[in-house]
């Protein structure tokens, strides 16, 4: 049997505030799992240092515990307040950037998943439309390619696409849209390409009726995200690509409430007033978006859908 590398906990009576941190670290060092030991010890060191740094009062401690409890209570099948909190303090984007683009060393086309991805989007032919019920708004034609780190096109990538409507609502938030409107699942062709027809998305506020909304108001922050389209690329042998491409002239592009806009993910949503129409039923102006994604080799793991 493999010998445990965890230390034996002996324990000690606490004499002063100086004794607390070492006592907790010693108790937690009994964990057999080395990664758990590392994470728990670092978490405790930082939490204790935080309380010391701000000289946390007992009343403030109570507010913090209540805030955490209410995040849990506000979370259910169609809403995830925990992810929203991580997003609103920049933690989701930080973890994303630390884990992509050679651990943050290079630019990445990865971004946070957000709370609106659903499994089982309708399969759609390349070039097909994801407008599944009448959705007035500027016509948008999207053409993307997916390549590997050596710029070689990647065929047979399954790509989920989801976006808000031109009034800023996802279909699951809006009774006027049919189920799965503005969502689709595509497969890249031999050239690594996929394309579809849609309408230009609009920005939207994140749900602000819970504890995260209270935090935003207390900090005089607006709750808005700039307009964007979400993409999720899946292919065995490659790290699942989770990303979103923002509209370059969108309001709040530089003040996204969840800090999801990185330079690499500002798309060229180009207005077209002239030229050959992309479809017979289109009238000028229309918009186009061309974008190239990079997928890294790695394990193809799908995230858990945040909503059903
Ligand atoms: Fe979104």
**pLDDT values of the chain reduced to their tens digit, one per residue, 308 residues:** 455 566 677 788 999 999 999 999 999 999 999 999 999 999 999 999 999 999 999 999 999 999 999 999 999 877 889 999 999 999 999 998 888 876 656 667 788 888 889 999 999 999 999 999 999 999 999 999 999 999 999 999 999 999 999 999 999 889 999 999 999 999 999 999 999 999 999 999 999 999 999 999 999 999 999 999 999 999 999 999 999 999 999 999 999 999 999 988 999 999 999 988 998 899 899 999 999 999 999 999 998 887 77
Q: Is 117 left (phi over 0), alpha (psi -120 to 50) or beta?
A: beta
Q: How far apart are the first and last CA of the chain?
A: 43
User: What spacing in Å lies between the alpha carbon of 49 and ligand 1's midpoint?
Assistant: 35
Burial of 21 (0-12, 13-18, 19+ CB in 10 A): middle
Sheet with 139-147, side-by-side order of all strands? 193-199, 139-147, 286-294, 269-272
> Which pLDDT score, from 0 to 100, does residue 206 have?
93
- Supply angle C-alpha 224, 139, 159, rounded to 5: 75
Enter the tokens of residue 216. Answer: 């935003």
User: What spacing in Å lies between the alpha carbon of 206 and ligand 1's midpoint?
Assistant: 9
User: What spacing in Å lies between the alpha carbon of 276 and ligand 1's midpoint?
Assistant: 31
Place of tokens 């409507």: 165
User: What spacing in Å lies between the alpha carbon of 152 and ligand 1's midpoint?
Assistant: 29
Q: Cβ(124)–Cβ(130) under 8 Å?
A: yes
Helix axes 81-88, 211-218, angle to 10 degrees: 20
> Which pLDDT score, from 0 to 100, does residue 288 have?
97
User: What spacing in Å lies between the alpha carbon of 103 and ligand 1's midpoint?
Assistant: 24
Task: Give 10's contacts (C-beta < 8 A, 6+ positions apart).
Answer: 26
User: What spacing in Å lies between the alpha carbon of 93 and ligand 1's midpoint?
Assistant: 14
User: What spacing in Å lies between the alpha carbon of 275 and ligand 1's midpoint?
Assistant: 31
C-alpha to C-alpha distance for 236 and 1, rounded to whole angstroms? 35
User: What spacing in Å lies between the alpha carbon of 130 and ligand 1's midpoint?
Assistant: 16
C-alpha to C-alpha distance for 200 and 140, rounded to whole angstroms? 5
Task: For residue 108, give the nearest of 97, 118, 116, 119 by alpha carbon.
Answer: 97
- Cis amide leading into 285 (omega within 30): yes
> Which pLDDT score, from 0 to 100, does residue 106 have?
64
Place of tokens 């906990």: 9
Enter the tokens of residue 269. Answer: 């949503």
Give the three-state DSSP class for 98. Answer: helix
Task: For residue 278, give the nearest of 141, 165, 119 by alpha carbon.
Answer: 141
């Amino acid at each position: 049997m493999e010998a445990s590398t965890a230390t034996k906990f002996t324990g000690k009576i606490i004499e002063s505030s100086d004794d607390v941190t070492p006592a907790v670290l010693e108790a937690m060092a009994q964990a057999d799992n080395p990664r758990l030991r590392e994470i728990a010890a670092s978490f405790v060191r930082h939490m204790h240092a935080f309380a010391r740094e701000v000289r946390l009062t007992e009343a403030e401690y109570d507010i913090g515990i209540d805030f955490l409890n209410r995040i849990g209570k506000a979370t259910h099948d169609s809403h995830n307040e925990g992810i929203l909190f991580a997003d609103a303090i920049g933690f989701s984007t930080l973890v994303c950037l630390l884990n992509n683009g050679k651990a943050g060393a290079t630019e990445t086309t990865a971004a946070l998943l957000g709370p609106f991805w659903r499994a089982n989007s309708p399969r759609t032919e390349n070039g097909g439309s994801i407008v599944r019920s009448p959705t007035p708004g500027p016509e948008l034609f999207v053409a993307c390619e997916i390549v590997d780190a050596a710029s070689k096109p990647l065929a047979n990538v399954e790509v989920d696409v989801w976006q808000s409507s031109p009034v800023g609502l996802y279909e699951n938030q809006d009774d006027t849209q049919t189920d799965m409107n503005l969502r689709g699942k595509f497969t890249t062709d031999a050239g690594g390409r996929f394309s579809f027809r849609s309408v230009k998305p609009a920005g939207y506020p994140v749900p602000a009726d819970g504890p995260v909304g209270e935090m935003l108001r207390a900090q005089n922050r607006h709750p808005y995200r700039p307009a964007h389209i979400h993409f999720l690329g899946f292919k065995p042998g490659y790290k699942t690509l989770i990303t979103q491409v923002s509209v370059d002239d969108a309001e709040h592009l530089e003040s996204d409430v969840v800090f999801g806009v990185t330079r690499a993910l500002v798309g060229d949503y180009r207005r077209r007033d002239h030229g050959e129409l992309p479809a017979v039923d289109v009238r000028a102006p229309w918009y186009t978006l061309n974008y190239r994604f990079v997928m890294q080799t790695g394990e193809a793991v799908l995230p858990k859908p945040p909503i059903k």
